[in-house]
Amino acid sequence: MTRLMAGALMMMTMMTMMTGCANVPPAGAEEVPVRGAGTCDAAKAQKLIGRARSPDLGTEALSLTGARVVRWIPEGALVTMDYREDRVNLHLDGRNKVVKIVCG
């Protein structure tokens, strides 16, 4: 193997490894940043359970909870387990209706 080929192979391997470190949101879970107070209080938004997903619902959830970010979590979606005190998570059922509201 020539030095050029070995160098190219090493570069491709490094790029592939670095791709695994990229911060990519989980499939189906979408975060929408909006300015809020910053610390989430999910208890204030429990009245939104049962409502259908919409931009207005997301805005209302942010306003009620004081969070800066809303994360929509569709039924069966895989999400990261990182905790963020400025994020409200809206869990959805198969019909895109909110079934659970928690911070993190």
Q: What is the pLDDT of residue 21?
A: 41
CA distance 83 to 64: 19
**CA 101 to CA 26: how far, in whole Å?**
18
Q: Which tens digit of pLDDT belongs to each residue from 26-80?
A: 445 555 555 555 799 999 999 999 999 999 999 999 999 999 999 999 999 999 9
Kindly list the structural domains of the chain, giving each domain's residue range(s) and its CATH number in brackets, ordered by start: 29-103 (3.30.10.10)
pTM over 0.85: no
pLDDT at 19 over 50: no
